[in-house]
Amino acid sequence: MEMFSNANDFLIWVRGDAFNIALFILIIGIFIRVMEIFLLGRKKDFSEPRGTEWGPGLKNIVSRSVVDSGTFKRAPFIVIVGYIWHICFFIVLLFFVPHIELINAMLGLQWPGLPSQLVDAATVIAIVSLIAMLWHRLTHPVLKFLSTYEDYLVWFVTFLPLLTGYIAFHRMIDPYPLALGLHIFSVELLMVVFPFTKLMHAITLFIARWYTGAMMGRKGIES
């Protein structure tokens, strides 16, 4: 690391310029992807509507979070581990006090945090579930066949912030500014990759679910 004379320099860089660059790319990427979806629009439906669009659309955003029994029977592992992963990930992301401080500083929103030990436990579970999912992907013949380079990239950039966060919290790398710097840097990597990969599902799932619900609603069917 020639450009940094010490770990503090690195931390200053990741908290300053690097974060701005990552944020810049993240926002531009999200705007391009979302605007592409909306500007492309949908084919005009000439049939006479049998129901409304908005209500069922919004309801579908929520109701699709409930597992349907068919999916569960086909892929119980993915459903269970997937749920564990997402819940633990959101606990870590949204209820660790230093993260709340970051959100508060950037968006002005604040809520109470959880004790560090609980967040720590959630981190371990999230890490284990991610490893389990990678193992599942590598051992399941169909899943392995369908996996592309992007799937592994997405796994890697999601795994890294958790791992570095765990290392930084437990101060397993010396000096600490390096540990914290690596954690923030790994998040910046995630921010840069996010808009251009499947990670965009965190945003597009709302659009997709709304469209499905709205289409069904218009046809007068339960979705």
Partner 1 sequence: MMNKKTLFESLQQQGVTRRGFMKYCTALTSLMALPPSMIPIVANALESAKRPSVIWLSFQECTGCAESLLRSHSPTVEGLIFDHISLDYQHTLQAAAGDAAEHAREQAMKEHYGKYLVVVDGSIPLADPGYSTIAGISNLDMLNETVAGAAAVIAVGTCSAYGGLPMADPNPTGAVSVSSLVKDKPVINVPGCPPIPTVITGVLAHYLTFGSIPELDDLGRPKVFYGQSIHDRCYRRPFYDKGLFAETFDDEGAKKGWCLYRLGCKGPMTYNACATLKWNQQTSWPVESGHGCLGCSEPNFWDAGSFYKALSIPDGDYAKAAGYAVATGVALGAAAGFANQKTKSSAVSQHTKVTVDDFDMNKDKK
Give the interface with partner 1 as residue ranges (CB under 8 A): 5-9, 11-12, 15-17, 19-21, 23-36, 38-40, 97-99, 101-102, 105-106, 112-117, 171, 175-177, 180
Calculate helix-pair angle for 7-15, 17-40, nearest 10 degrees: 30
Structure tokens at 204: 């597009």
- As measured in angstroms, the least distance from the Cβ of 4 to partner 1 is 10
Calculate helix-pair angle for 76-95, 149-169, nearest 10 degrees: 40
18 vs 133, which CB is nearer to partner 1? 18
Q: Is 148 helix (H, G, I), strand (E, B) or coil?
A: coil
- As measured in angstroms, the least distance from the Cβ of 2 to partner 1 is 15
The residue whose two tokens read 């993240």 is 26
Could you tell me if 214 and 59 are in contact, meaning their C-beta atoms sit under 8 angstroms apart? no
- As measured in angstroms, the least distance from the Cβ of 192 to partner 1 is 12
78 vs 189, which CB is nearer to partner 1? 189
15 vs 137, which CB is nearer to partner 1? 15
Distance CA 107, CA 3 (A): 32
2 vs 36, which CB is nearer to partner 1? 36
- As measured in angstroms, the least distance from the Cβ of 41 to partner 1 is 8
- As measured in angstroms, the least distance from the Cβ of 148 to partner 1 is 23
Q: What angle do CA 200, 205, 201 make, to 5 degrees?
A: 20
Q: How many residues does the chain have?
A: 223
Q: Within its chain, how far is the Cα of 151 from the centroid?
A: 13
22 vs 133, which CB is nearer to partner 1? 22
- As measured in angstroms, the least distance from the Cβ of 163 to partner 1 is 17
Using CA atoms, how far residue 203 sits from 30, 37, 61, 115, 208, in Å, is: 9, 12, 12, 29, 9
49 vs 175, which CB is nearer to partner 1? 175
